[in-house]
Structure formats: structure tokens, C-alpha cells
């Protein structure tokens, strides 16, 4: 097994969150965002060029262009992970990519005995950030990054190009924090004593059969894929969102949650979902009876676990994950709109 890089929601999920936010902003608020995205230092390479590719037959109108820019901003932080495949990729990757900014993992334990045996792992990572703070050698995490960009975006003295980059990190890290695998990792004595890297070291055999876009049974990838399909352009993602609009309870709950603007509270919610749904009781039972295997295909080393589940348990797991993802999409989109309104108001 190859441990995969941490990516949350893949393109479809991140774009969906951005489009929900777009629909809940005023014209002037959208214009504030677009002014900064239009000044983005990688606008030509990672906005204009792929925009022209997607709309090859005819240039989009102003509203469609703005929607597309919002959606693209949400995946920019994943695009720059690669140092090839787009113009000036090596330079852009070197200047802007930060792998640790995508997640903040809080510990999960299968039981109290495991918690006692690995007590040192229970300490939460640093989540403070202050203006002028130097980034540590190990890098900032997603919560520190969110705190930084939320502070800087409200500063009217900052240049629009740098604010365009900050907006991309805001869109992306907010989305990441609503994917439970980016909020937690499980520690199991003798099996996963160093953690599972946000479910990247756990496989549920046969899981990829539930998601056509998956190429492996890695648990993290399954959660990432829940809003992806073979095509994830603007029209495709918009069509996927349409059925959600009739679910009043979904939006009511999301609107209530959107009152909470503290990223640490979002992280705690994601951690709780990881405890209840990512590392579900059915999965914990299988992990307890499964042996760990050394990971020989990754330079990081460590152990991996491959578990089997009954078809009934696996199908139930998939249904619950999809139910959770629907609410997380709506909540994240409404929260993104709310924090944008807040920073825009503070920037005047």
C-alpha cells in the first residue's frame, strides 16, 4: 500500500463548498473577492488557462466566470502540490506549497486502555497564531493557517495579489476542516502507535467498489471522494448541488452552525465526527481483530491496516458517510460565506 498525500474532498467537494458560499454573498461581497482573485500572482497559469480549457467553445458571462473563479480558488492549494503539469509549476510549487497547512489532527483512541498506553499522543497540537509569529520548522497546521489568513484578509493595507493567495488558503483550509479525516487520526498500541495519518494508513477491502472514482480502498481517499465524479467542472458540481436545495432541514442546521466562526470549534466538530463515523464502532471491531502490516512502499515507514467488513456493515458505513458529507458540505459553504462577510466588513 502507498500512503496517499492528504487531500480533502478532492475537486468536487471543495468546489461545492465555494459555490454554496458564492450563492450566499451579495454582489458587492462577490466583487470584493473577485478583485483579489483577479490580482492573484498565478492567475494566468492556474485560473485563466484552465478557464479557457473548460469553456473552449465560448467565453463565459461575468457571473459564470466569477462562479468558476470561486470554485478554482477552492482547489488552488491542491493544484500547487504538483511541481509539473502547468506553466511555471516548479516555481509556483516552491513559492506557495505548504503540505502541513491542510490538516490539524487530534488524537482518537479505540478505548481507555489505548489512551492510557499512548497518553503522550493525546496532547493537542499548537493552534495559536499571532501577528509576526515565525512559522516553526515543522510548519503551521490548518488552524494556525486559518487564523492567519482571517486576520490578514481584514487588513485593507495588504496588496490584492497576496490577498488572492490568502483567499485560496481560506477557501481550502475551511473545506479541509469540514472533512473529518483532516481533523483526527487514531492511535492503537502495537498496531498504529504512530497514528494512521488521518485514515491514510487504513484500508477497508472492497471500499472502492462503492465509489467509481476510487482506485484504492484507502479510507482517507474514500472520504475525500464523496463529492467527486468522473467530471468535476463547474456545470457538473452545480448539478450535484441542486438536489440539496430541497432539503430544508439540511440548510436550517447549516445556518445554525454557520454562527460559529471559530476554526477551533470547527476542528472539534470534525474530530467528533471522526470518532463517531470515520472510526465507527463497526470499523473499530475489525481493527481490533486485524493485524498491522509494515508499510514497505512509503519512505515514511510505519504500519498499515487492511480490514474486511461484511457487505452489510460496509454498505451501512458508506450510507452514513454520505449522510455526514451532505451536512458538512452545506455547513462549510455557509460558514465560508459568513467568514467572508466578516472579513469584508472588517476590511473597510
**Does position 246 have pLDDT exceeding 80, yes or no?**
yes
224/293 Cα distance (integer angstroms): 24
pLDDT over 50 at 322, yes or no: yes
3-state secondary structure of 325: helix
97-126 pLDDT per residue, tens = 999 999 999 999 999 999 999 999 999 999
* 311-346 vs 10-23: helix crossing angle, rounded to 10: 40
The strand ranges marked E within 147-217 are 184-186, 202-204
Rg (CA), the chain: 20
Q: Which residues pair with 294 in a beta bridge?
A: 303
Q: What is the CA angle 50-54-57, rounded to 5?
A: 125
Topology of the domain covering 10-346 = P1 Nuclease (1.10.575)
Domain ranges of the chain: 10-346
Structure confidence at residue 299 (pLDDT)? 53
Indicate the average pLDDT of the chain: 95
Phi-psi label, residue 155: left if phi above 0, alpha if psi -120 to 50, beta otherwise: beta
Q: At residue 81, does pLDDT exceed 50? A: yes
Question: Taking CA 127 as the corner, what is the angle to CA 273 and CA 123, rounded to the nearest 5 degrees?
Answer: 70
Render pLDDT for 21-41 as a digit per residue (tens, 0 to 9).
Answer: 999 999 999 999 999 999 999
* Across 71-80, 188-197, 292-301, least confident range: 292-301
Report residue 8's pLDDT band, with 50, 70 and 90 as the boundaries.
low
137: Cα within 13 Å, side-chain hemisphere = 0
On the question of pLDDT at 96 being above 80, the answer is: yes
Strand partners, 106: 184
Kindly give, in sequence order, each residue whose CB lies less than 8 Å from that of residue 81, ignoring residues fewer than 6 positions away.
Answer: 5, 7, 93, 97, 99
pLDDT at 1: 31
For 296-313, how does the pLDDT look when each residue is reduced to its tens digit (9 = 90+)?
Answer: 665 566 899 999 999 999
Strands (E), the chain: 106-108, 184-186, 202-204, 293-294, 303-307
Is 333 in contact with 37 (CB distance < 8 Å)?
no
Cell of 206: 472492497
Full DSSP string of 64-111:
HHHHHHHHHHHHHHHHTT-SSSSTTHHHHHHHH--GGGG--PEEE-SS
Calculate helix-pair angle for 311-346, 160-177, nearest 10 degrees: 150
Amino acid at each position: 500500500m502507498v500512503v496517499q498525500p492528504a487531500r480533502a474532498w478532492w475537486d468536487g467537494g471543495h468546489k461545492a463548498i465555494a459555490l454554496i458560499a458564492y450563492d450566499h454573498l451579495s454582489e458587492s461581497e462577490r466583487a470584493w473577492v473577485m478583485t483579489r482573485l483577479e490580482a492573484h500572482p498565478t492567475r494566468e497559469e492556474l485560473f485563466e488557462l484552465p478557464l479557457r480549457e473548460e469553456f473552449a467553445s465560448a467565453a463565459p458571462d461575468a457571473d459564470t466566470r466569477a462562479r468558476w473563479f470561486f470554485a478554482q480558488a477552492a482547489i488552488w492549494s491542491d493544484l500547487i502540490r504538483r511541481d509539473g503539469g502547468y506553466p511555471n509549476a516548479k516555481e509556483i510549487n516552491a513559492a506557495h506549497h505548504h503540505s502541513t497547512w491542510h490538516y490539524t489532527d487530534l488524537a482518537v483512541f479505540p478505548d481507555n486502555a489505548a489512551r492510557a498506553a499512548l497518553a503522550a499522543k493525546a496532547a493537542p497540537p499548537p493552534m495559536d497564531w499571532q501577528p509576526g509569529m515565525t512559522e516553526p520548522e515543522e510548519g503551521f497546521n490548518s488552524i494556525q493557517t486559518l487564523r492567519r489568513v482571517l486576520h490578514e484578509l481584514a487588513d485593507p493595507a495588504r496588496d490584492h495579489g497576496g490577498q488572492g493567495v490568502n483567499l485560496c488558503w481560506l477557501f481550502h483550509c475551511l473545506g479541509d476542516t469540514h472533512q473529518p479525516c483532516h481533523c483526527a487520526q487514531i492511535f492503537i498500541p502495537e498496531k498504529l502507535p504512530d497514528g494512521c495519518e488521518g485514515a491514510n494508513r487504513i484500508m477497508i477491502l472492497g471500499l472502492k467498489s462503492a465509489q467509481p472514482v476510487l482506485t484504492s480502498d484507502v479510507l482517507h481517499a474514500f472520504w475525500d471522494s464523496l463529492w467527486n465524479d468522473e467530471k468535476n467542472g463547474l456545470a457538473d458540481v452545480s448539478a450535484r448541488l441542486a438536489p440539496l436545495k430541497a432539503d430544508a432541514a439540511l440548510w436550517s442546521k447549516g445556518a445554525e452552525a454557520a454562527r460559529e466562526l471559530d476554526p477551533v470549534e470547527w476542528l472539534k466538530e470534525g474530530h467528533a465526527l471522526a470518532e463517531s463515523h470515520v472510526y465507527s464502532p463497526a470499523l473499530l471491531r475489525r481493527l481490533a481483530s486485524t493485524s498491522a502490516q509494515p508499510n514497505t512502499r512509503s519512505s515514511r515507514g510505519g504500519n498499515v491496516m487492511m480490514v474486511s467488513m461484511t457487505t452489510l456493515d460496509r454498505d451501512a458505513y458508506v450510507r452514513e458517510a454520505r449522510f455526514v458529507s451532505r451536512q458538512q458540505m452545506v455547513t462549510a459553504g455557509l460558514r465560508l460565506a459568513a467568514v467572508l462577510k466578516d472579513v469584508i466588513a472588517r476590511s473597510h
